[in-house]
Chains A and B, each alone.
Chain A
Amino acid sequence: MIKDFVKGLWRENPVFVQVLGMCPTLAVTTKCVFGLSMGLATTFVIVSSVVVISTIRKLVPEQVRIPMFTVIIATFVTAADYFLKANFFEISKALGPYIPLIVVNCVILGRAEAFASKHGVARSFLDAFGMGIGFTCALVVLGAVREVLGAGTVFGYPVMWEGFTNWIVMVMPAGAFITLGLLVGVFNIVDKRVKSK
């Protein structure tokens, strides 16, 4: 059971290994705090929809399971969107359309289809939670690298020396691709080292 949880963190990490859900990964990680909120919102959506889906999995007619899953996911996404708008207005403004776009994050539908529709509630929950946390961690790391180089801060706290020149490319889309590519490379190197031991 615990394996279901852990695999999303490293071995099947949605960002660094499966390379899924690239739209939010690349678009919102200009700052740590955006990566964190996007990750948490996604975790909320993935966990709650997967729990619902695995609960009703035996009642879902085979032919319409994808539309049904989508409706369930969309419900939770809309709820998350409203919640952020009501309580974290600034963050919601910064994330803009990317919160509603969680609907099309293939990590979520992927987990629903590949795991939750075939396994029990407890295991599906752990699986989704692991994926969500793995996704969040990846976004925060990506956001940290981009924020440090692009703005000289981490979570808004200055960490670079006085007179540091911001690398503007890092907060632009091109910087997201460069950073993600390099991080996937680093991930693979570490992974190989760990495996060969």
Chain B
Amino acid sequence: MPGDNIKKIFENTIVKVIVALAIVGAVSGATLVFVYNYAMPKILVNIARETEKGIKNIFPEAAEINDSEIKGLYDIADDTGKIVGYAFLAEGNGYQGTIKLISGIDANATQLKGMEVLESQETPGLGAEITTKKFKSQFINLSITHPIEYLKNRKPEKDYQIEAITGATISSRAVVNILNKRVEEIRKELKK
């Protein structure tokens, strides 16, 4: 009967399609497991190394970096084992895309020890100036008992103020806001 024939072909095609897709899927899955096992340890090392580099810039005296009891915080100890401060990651919206920062506070949580930009997509020549030493050094020993403020075209007068980058107020403000938000969270956590 012709009807049976058609049915047979149909069934065959379906089976063929399923088998073919299953094989491709399985093979590619297996390949990726292999690649993942090879690459993942290295990737984790890379990320850890980058965080460490940032922390070392902020705490030159750091000898030991450990995960803190508070989630998202790193305990920084000097070579005598005394805790000198805490480092933390923070991120938020910049002028373009996300700005990812690493920063640190002293053990009493009264001062910012510095700030490093891990990732940003700010406008080169303007917003990207947040990665320059001139801008970053303003955050060293900045008081955080008061929210950080930024000034336009004026030198800071108080110890919680920084000068915004000329022509890139939005990026400067973004950094300040990200830090203020995160610092407040951390200060709350530490008080507990």
Contact = CB atoms under 8 A, between A and B. Distances in A.
A82 B25 contact: no
A82 B43 contact: yes
A87 B46 CA distance: 9
A66 B42 CA distance: 33
A75 B23 CA distance: 13
B125 A166 contact: yes
B20 A68 contact: yes
Given A79-B31, A168-B125, A59 B43 contact: no
Contact of B46 (A64, A68, A85): A85
A144 B16 CA distance: 49
Contact of B24 (A63, A71, A87, A172): A71
Nearest to A67: B21
B46 A59 contact: no
A90 to B, nearest CB: 9
Contact of A87 (B42, B119, B125): B42
B20 A150 contact: no
Interface residues of A, number: 26
Interface string A65-94: 001100110110011001101110100010
Contacts of A168: 123-126
Mostly helix, strand, loop or mixed at chain B's interface?
A: helix
Interface in B1-57: 13, 16-17, 20-21, 24-25, 28, 31-32, 35-36, 38-40, 42-43, 46, 50
Most chain A CB atoms below 10 A, which of B13, B43, B119: B43
A74 B32 CA distance: 10
Contact of A72 (B24, B43, B119): B24
Most chain B CB atoms below 10 A, which of A78, A86, A166, A171: A86
A150 B32 CA distance: 38
Given A71-B25, A166-B125, A63 B38 contact: no
A87 B123 CA distance: 27
Nearest to B126: A168
Given A68-B24, A71-B24, A86 B39 contact: yes
Interface string B60-91: 00000000000000000000000000000000
A60 interface: yes
Contacts of B25: 71
A64 B28 contact: no
Given A71-B25, A85-B39, A63 B124 contact: no
A172 B95 CA distance: 13
B13 A63 contact: yes
Most chain B CB atoms below 10 A, which of A71, A82, A150, A172: A82
A89 B38 CA distance: 15
B126 A61 contact: no
A78 B126 CA distance: 34
B36 A151 contact: no
Given A64-B20, A67-B21, A82-B36, A89 B46 contact: yes
Contacts of B13: 61, 63
Interface of A: 59-61, 63-64, 67-68, 71-72, 74-75, 78-79, 82-83, 85-87, 89, 93, 150-151, 166, 168, 171-172
The 3 closest A-B pairs by CB, nearest first: A86-B42, A82-B39, A75-B28
14 contacts: A59-B20, A67-B21, A72-B24, A75-B28, A78-B32, A78-B35, A83-B39, A86-B38, A86-B40, A87-B42, A93-B119, A151-B124, A168-B125, A172-B124
